[in-house]
Structure 1
Amino acid sequence: MTADFFEIGLDYNDSTRWYLGQPGTAEGKLLPGTFWNCAPWTDTRPLSVEIKKSGMPATFNHSGHSVYIVATETMSLLRNVIDPQVFQGIPVSIIDHAGDYEILNSLDCVDCVDEQHSEFRRWTAEDGRPERIGDYKMSLFRIDPDRARGHDLFRAKGWEIALICSEKVKRCLENAGVTGIRFKSIVYKE
């Protein structure tokens, strides 16, 4: 049986929940795109995020630019289920909210894009983003489950904006009643 993997994304069907902005430093510098490059965060300055749209707090939040802000309780659950060395929890305060949250910074980057079953083109110099040349521009994203085997929470090399989890992590989060996210299967099935 082929292992299944899922892209974690925002639950668009829940219009009652809040929406968080980008994390930033105490000086007000926003950090878009900082937490999807599979690199450890070593800055010790406190980070905060504002509530962009009020509503019911969620335990797993997508705040744009592939940043996930997760309730500390849920992060602790993840640390008990998968190798805590493959991700980092960075404390973040939510302005005008008392709950404990962390930025989920995935450190595991896996070369697993299934090019045969994905639809994509690659960034070129003509796109005006020299730092992205050679990376994928996906319209249909699939991964090769054999190359992803043994990884539970990761990003795909060349398409790092996607946060991917194994069936084990999906079941764990669903059983815990985590709110704010949806899971989309990204393994090609004939």
Structure 2
Amino acid sequence: MFRRLTQALRLLARSIPGPSSDEGTPRGGAVPSEEAPDSARRAPAARRASQQPGRASRYFDLHDDFRNPARRELSDPVALDGKKPRSVWSFTSGAPVSHQGRLKLTAEPPGRPLDFSLAGAGLTPIVHATVASIFRELAPEDVQLIPVEVEGEPEPFFILVATRLIPCLDERACAEVSHYTAEDGPPERVGHYRTVRGLRIDATKTQGARVLRTWGWPVSLIVSEGIKEALEHAGVSGLRFAEVTPPSPARKRRRKTRSKPRRG
């Protein structure tokens, strides 16, 4: 009897229709993530970090980590014959640079710089080739990458030039802001910012840029959240970030509704 019952159950199972091929394949013919090839799962860190639809835009001030014990002091870039640029701010003014010839800089003490550093009095961003590739992939319209030689180092480095200067500083959200006036500043600086503390920008005015400098206060190098996450995922050394976008109302509500730990 048990054998006949087992056979009946098998026949019943065979008679039940299984899922159709349409139900087993995701829309668009995509392969489920569990069965996706390794090349799809191992997408570049930069590409994965940039795919975050539906999130409010967040931006960060990118600076180098002065506390890193492996950090080296880099000089301002100069031509191979020692000729200096017209200004130490040539690479940080928020505009493309028309340069001629090869450039070099020195490191003190000698040795390989960190993956990201700010060089010289002009705070020129110097990045390793791996970092340059991330910016080239994620923000090709916002940056210019200029090769620069670090004396004594065979590895390739680049000057990272942010080519977009955007008036997006949020004066009301900043901790303190003051302007140059005709009485205390050169004519070309009148209206620009003399002091900015607690920098904040208006993300709705960034024109979709992923890398930028703020008009009137170009000293800060601003990057999007996608750039930040890609750099962190790649393990880039020498980075320090400070958010410059005010928390959104939703993020504020989440902070307020966090429950306090119960006391025993």
Regarding TM over 0.5, the answer is yes
Between the aligned residues of both structures, percent identity stands at 32
Residue equivalent to 2:45:
none
Structure 1 CA distance, aligned partners of 2:209 and 2:95?
A: 17
**2:75 aligned with 1:6:** no
Per-residue CA deviations over 1:80-132 (Å, capped at 9, x if unaligned) read: 222x1211001110111111011001111221100101111112344454432
The alpha carbon displacement at 1:24 in A equals 0.8
Q: Is the 8 A contact 1:68 1:103 kept in 2?
A: yes
| Higher strand content, 1 or 2 | 1
Mark the CA change 1:27 to 1:151 in structure 2 (over 3 Å): closer, same or farther: same
Residue equivalent to 1:111:
167
After TM superposition, the structure 1 = structure 2 runs for residues 160-171 of structure 1, keeping only pairs within 5 Å, are: 160-171=218-229
After TM superposition, the structure 1 = structure 2 runs for residues 63-74 of structure 1, keeping only pairs within 5 Å, are: 63-64=119-120, 65-74=122-131
After TM superposition, the structure 1 = structure 2 runs for residues 8-87 of structure 1, keeping only pairs within 5 Å, are: 8-31=62-85, 32-54=88-110, 57-64=113-120, 65-82=122-139, 84-87=140-143
Q: Is the 8 A contact 2:111 2:153 kept in 1?
A: no
| Of 180, 185, 201, the match for 1:123 | 180
Structure 2 CA distance, aligned partners of 1:99 and 1:126?
A: 49
Aligned CA-pair RMSD: 1.8
Residue equivalent to 1:145:
203
Q: Which has the larger radius of gyration?
A: 2
TM (normalized to structure 2)? 0.66
Range moving further from structure 2, 166-175 or 47-56: 47-56
| Higher helix content, 1 or 2 | 2
* Unpaired segments ≥5 residues, structure 2: 1-54, 253-264
Greater relative CO, 1 or 2 (CA 8 Å, sep 6+):
1
Aligned residues: 189
Mark the CA change 1:124 to 1:29 in structure 2 (over 3 Å): closer, same or farther: farther
Q: Is the 8 A contact 1:70 1:104 kept in 2?
A: yes
Structure 2 CA distance, aligned partners of 1:113 and 1:85?
A: 21
Residue equivalent to 2:16:
none
Q: Is the 8 A contact 1:20 1:53 kept in 2?
A: no
The alpha carbon displacement at 1:54 in A equals 4.1
The alpha carbon displacement at 1:174 in A equals 0.4
Per the alignment, in what secondary structure is the counterpart of residue 36 of structure 1? coil
Range moving further from structure 2, 164-173 or 48-57: 48-57
**2:212 aligned with 1:154:** yes
Task: State the AA in 2 paired with 1:139.
Answer: R
Mark the CA change 1:147 to 1:59 in structure 2 (over 3 Å): closer, same or farther: same
The alpha carbon displacement at 1:149 in A equals 5.6
TM (normalized to structure 1)? 0.90
Q: Is the 8 A contact 2:77 2:103 kept in 1?
A: yes
Task: State the AA in 2 paired with 1:26.
Answer: L
Per-residue CA deviations over 1:44-83 (Å, capped at 9, x if unaligned) read: 211111113446521111114231011122111221222x
